Structure 1
Amino acid sequence: MSEYDEPLTELQKRRKFALAMGKPEALERMKNEGLLNARERLDYMLDKGTFVEVGQLALGAREEHRHRTPADGKVAGFGKVDGRMVGIVSNDFATMGASSALNNLKKMKYVKDQGTKRGFPLMFVGSSSGSRMPDRMGAPGRLIIAQDPAEYRRLRKSPWGVAQLGSCYGSSTWYACMADYVVMRKGATMAVASSRVTSLAINQPVTDEDLGGWRMHTRISGLVDQAFNTDEECLDALKRYLSYMPSNCAEAPPVVGVPKGSDDPIESIMEIVPGDRKKVYNMRHVIDVLADKGSVFEMKPAWGKSVITALGRLNGQTVGFLGNNPMHKGGAADPDGCAKATGFLVHCDSFNIPIVMLVDVPGFLIGVEGERKAAPGKIINWMNALSLTTVPKLTVVLRKSYGQAYINMGGNKNSDVFAMWPTADVGFMDPETGVNVVFGITRQDDPEEFERCVAKLSEDAAPWEVAAMFEAQDVIDPRETRKFLINMLEVQQLRMTNGVGEHLMATWPTSIV
């Protein structure tokens, strides 16, 4: 008998215990509901055979918990997605609700620290019931937390992605709010505390869905980018998000092949965008036509809908499309739209993604509701972020661009490249409104004089006037927009730094909405 036999047998016993995960009945229930367990989620997410686990033998810190806390409820380690290294933590809800406790928080910290130091993305997957009780009760419980002052410091050294796939409270929610991209399974919940705890605290009933369901977070709070029906769809979205991103802030995003048909003539673009500035259209269709085929990946489509934010590719290169949405409130940017634009600028600049702004904006949505939602502060936050952006900024004005919104959408010197379609109209406000304000004339008062004044203001706001002063680099045929953007992206490459920006907003808060 070898002197290694007994310790190796013990090792295999402990590994088997960890791999079995939590309560069998809880695992069976997840299976019956069509959900993946913690290890199945890892298998689905990562390239086959690449997962390297750390902390597999970790157990709960309390003696009475050790027999029922395999891996202490959080499966952690490293693996590859499409051949690139990532760090990942997958919560095992079958083990004490994947509650956060002393030892599993050490595992999370280790994975997070390695990703930050070694330059690879971090993924947090699953659900958590929040803090483990009674570990966190009383003064001794307080000593478990707040041991790492940098735990909630986000420097955007590498991309973070989160999939909320069940009941998500406490740390699951905190990490989602620090992440760059968050997906949620429909039926999951994300909140500070559970509906039961919340109901007791506020002395009124509240449901999981009302408290933090997918509709609330994708449409109202804006904390979740997208929601899907299944675990698999959520994990697919996480993987697709990673495909656009560099592994860390010191790299340029990956360049991929250009799909066949991407450079076909785009005659349809003038059918998509009516020349009449009062007619609405879907800016998403414009982005689809301009981007490489099938490459558009929209972020937060159901929130802040006056603005469209999407990752995509031009000639194989990752870019961020920021466009106005005439289909919603006429494209006038409301407070949520402003916050959405700001967050997207910060995200793109932090990870060296050039920005393409497609402009058709009548201004900001003004009124009592906007003021109550801090519209002025959100407008200037957007402007501040734009001024701190160091990646290439390319702006094309399709139709109207008025007032302060003209500046926020990259007008003139606020972009590295500024171009206009022949249908562009720039000024302080719509010419018809301007005639009323400047001359005090309405169409009803004097139709002929009103039209004469409108024509005069329209002439002054025409793209030819802007181009004549060289405040625009060019006026372009709409059908040449894709080619123009590709050419200018090449001109604007950050050659001196290998495609890496200055990251002046690396510490910008991740969840200011």
Structure 2
Amino acid sequence: MPHEALLEDFEVRRRRALAMGGPEKLARRRQANVLNARERIDCLVDAGSFLESGLFGTSVMPGDADNTPGDGKIAGFGKIEGREVAVVSNDFTVKGASSSLTNMKKIGHVKRVATQRGLPLVMFGESSGARMPDNMGARGMGTMLGTDPVQYVRQRETPWVSAILGQCYGSSAWYACLSDYVVMRRGAVMAVASPALASMAIGQKVDPEELGGVKLHSETTGMVDTVVDSDEDAIAAIKRFLSYLPGHAAEAPPRLAVPAGCDEAGDGILAALPESRTRVYDVRRIIRSVVDADTFMEVKPQFGKPAVIGMARLDGRSVGIIANNPMGKAGALDVAACEKITRFIVMCDSFNIPLLLFVDTPGFVIGIDGERQKAPGKIMNFMTALQMASVPKLSVMMRKSYGQAYLNMGGGRNSDDIAAWPTAEISFMDPVYAARVVTWGDDDPAERARIEAEMRRDSSAYDLASIYGVQAVIRPQDTRQYLKRMLEIHEMRPTHGIGQRHLRNWPTTY
């Protein structure tokens, strides 16, 4: 064919591929205020930076080529604020973005490039699951499934983030579970299989929200980190999260400029801390008075409420925040809080992010429910992850630090440096409960009061400091300056900011 004809054919094929599922389906999405697969990529990456991989891919099934542009998944590479990323965006307008041979090869290729070349991987999840009849029968199984031996392997070489932006079944759910950060739009659903299939399996109608909606995954399973109202909000959250992380595990996180006035914010920290040891407070106020202004990004706020975790910056450095929150169960750590903290430690250790622990906990929630949820194992997972983490760990004891939770929150030698406020209390358990245990069966109030007073002895910050159980007792308003200096001291100099990453192979859910 002449060059002109070849180029004309190229343009026809390119327009067909870019048209996705056709104008009617795209119009319905616009009416619903939902971005299509290509608009999501355009919203994510810098203008003009997206380089598509597999534009002319189609289904391999006979007769399906003309109605499967891109084979339902769009993949490629772009830049976010100048930093390279790999992207997979499910195109629900083409066969529900269902998984088939060609589109899974595209995902595999982009994932391999991201891993080998050190690029974060962003996945926009919206898929109906496996495509039938492509996957049916022995030949379908043999050609569609298991052809990539490392398809579901996570060694956290680069950050993975996922957005749940519609129906997410099958592989789009699997990749979300493997990700370091998951954002979910209200109204979306993530589950093993669709409500229709689940209804057939159990013989009763299944509600999509109950099966895998926002409330389930943000409050009960903890598999979603951030809940948003729109696709645009989800993309903004992804960009913000990635701004704290390195592009890959072999480099330190980026260090940004410090907003003006941050050092003065610490002067108001005492206003957030009640003078009464029994009054609750929101630890987020203390966190925000310590870190750089407007940099605290909380994750999983509705899951494991006795703990607050999130990304922040201190003096321009990325840090991971772990804090006990008296607003939730008086700060007593439950199973969900242990899971949430453990997963966060794993992520921070894998990507060279120092950990700051703010301590005010009476211990762990005890009782039948906790034991049924394997509380001892979850507590030890938390403890093991903390001890194995090789990034700098700095603890600040604000008020209570009791029992095993003293160790889990960095006490002993489980943090690299520990400071205590003069308000700190350190003991095996709350003196009130300790006195009740010792006087069990004895109703003499005077004797109980005497024992309680005895139990309160030697439990101050200065008592712990006297045996070098903490390295410093500091004024609360000096916390920001203390932590800034400690981060300078504990910077990972010999390895250029790279930790040993002992936790990189830790399971993603547990």
8 Å contact from structure 1 (residues 312, 321) kept in 2: yes
- 3-state SS of 1:429 partner: coil
Q: Which residue of 1 aligns with 2:109?
A: 110
Q: Which residue of 1 aligns with 2:384?
A: 384
Q: Which residue of 1 aligns with 2:492?
A: 494
Q: Which residue of 2 aligns with 1:475?
A: 473
Q: Which residue of 1 aligns with 2:271?
A: 271
1:193-213 Cα offsets, whole Å, 9 max, x none, are 100011011111111111111
Q: Which residue of 2 aligns with 1:98?
A: 97
Q: Which residue of 1 aligns with 2:434?
A: 434
How many corresponding residue pairs?
A: 509
8 Å contact from structure 1 (residues 38, 126) kept in 2: no
Q: Distance in 1 between matches of 2:228 and 2:306?
A: 22
8 Å contact from structure 2 (residues 419, 471) kept in 1: yes
Q: Aligned runs of 1:425-464 on 2, under 5 Å?
A: 425-438=425-438, 445-447=444-446, 449-464=447-462
Q: Distance in 1 between matches of 2:84 and 2:509?
A: 26
1:344-397 Cα offsets, whole Å, 9 max, x none, are 100100000000000000010000000001101100000110111000000001
Q: Distance in 2 between matches of 1:377 and 1:220?
A: 19
Q: Aligned runs of 1:145-224 on 2, under 5 Å?
A: 145-224=145-224
Q: Distance in 1 between matches of 2:140 and 2:267?
A: 65
8 Å contact from structure 1 (residues 37, 92) kept in 2: yes
Q: Alpha-carbon deviation of 1:441?
A: 8.7
Q: Which residue of 2 aligns with 1:239?
A: 239
Greater CA deviation, 449-458 or 148-157? 449-458
TM-score (norm: length of structure 1): 0.97
8 Å contact from structure 2 (residues 265, 290) kept in 1: no
Q: Which residue of 1 aligns with 2:357?
A: 357
Equivalent position amino acid for 2:126 in 1:
S
8 Å contact from structure 2 (residues 155, 504) kept in 1: yes
Q: Distance in 2 between matches of 1:147 and 1:446?
A: 72
Q: Distance in 1 between matches of 2:201 and 2:451?
A: 62
Q: Which residue of 1 aligns with 2:32?
A: 33
1:23-61 Cα offsets, whole Å, 9 max, x none, are 432211111000110111111000000000010000011
Q: Distance in 2 between matches of 1:446 and 1:87?
A: 67
Q: Distance in 2 between matches of 1:45 and 1:366?
A: 44
Equivalent position amino acid for 2:241 in 1:
Y
- 3-state SS of 1:412 partner: coil
Equivalent position amino acid for 1:387 in 2:
Q
Q: Alpha-carbon deviation of 1:511?
A: 1.6
Gaps of 5+ in 2: none
8 Å contact from structure 2 (residues 158, 247) kept in 1: yes
8 Å contact from structure 2 (residues 265, 289) kept in 1: no
1:49-77 Cα offsets, whole Å, 9 max, x none, are 00000100000111221111001111100
Q: Distance in 2 between matches of 1:413 and 1:72?
A: 54
Q: Which residue of 2 aligns with 1:331?
A: 331
Q: Alpha-carbon deviation of 1:278?
A: 1.3
Q: Alpha-carbon deviation of 1:12?
A: 1.3
Q: Alpha-carbon deviation of 1:502?
A: 0.5
Q: Which residue of 2 aligns with 1:119?
A: 118
Q: Which residue of 1 aligns with 2:420?
A: 420
Q: Aligned runs of 1:394-405 on 2, under 5 Å?
A: 394-405=394-405
1:232-278 Cα offsets, whole Å, 9 max, x none, are 00010001001000000001100000111111152321121113221
Q: Aligned runs of 1:32-71 on 2, under 5 Å?
A: 32-71=31-70
Q: Alpha-carbon deviation of 1:439?
A: 5.1
1:281-333 Cα offsets, whole Å, 9 max, x none, are 00111111111000000111111111111100100000000001100111110
Q: Distance in 2 between matches of 1:431 and 1:503?
A: 39
Q: Aligned runs of 1:279-358 on 2, under 5 Å?
A: 279-358=279-358
8 Å contact from structure 1 (residues 435, 441) kept in 2: no
- 3-state SS of 1:64 partner: coil
Q: Distance in 2 between matches of 1:147 and 1:336?
A: 36
Q: Distance in 2 between matches of 1:74 and 1:421?
A: 54
Return structure 1 stretches of 4+ with deviation > 4 angstroms. 439-442
Q: Distance in 2 between matches of 1:479 and 1:318?
A: 21
Equivalent position amino acid for 2:484 in 1:
I
Question: Are 2:399 and 1:372 equivalent residues in the alignment?
Answer: no
1:95-115 Cα offsets, whole Å, 9 max, x none, are 000000000000000110000
8 Å contact from structure 2 (residues 125, 173) kept in 1: no
Equivalent position amino acid for 1:320 in 2:
G
Q: Alpha-carbon deviation of 1:458?
A: 2.0
Alpha carbons of 1:236 and 1:357: their partners in 2 closer, same or farther (altered >3 Å)?
Answer: same
Provide the alpha-carbon RMSD of the alignment: 1.2
Q: Distance in 2 between matches of 1:457 and 1:464?
A: 16
Q: Distance in 2 between matches of 1:161 and 1:277?
A: 40
Equivalent position amino acid for 1:362 in 2:
P
TM-score (norm: length of structure 2): 0.98
Q: Distance in 1 between matches of 2:495 and 2:102?
A: 41
- 3-state SS of 2:196 partner: helix
Q: Which residue of 1 aligns with 2:483?
A: 485
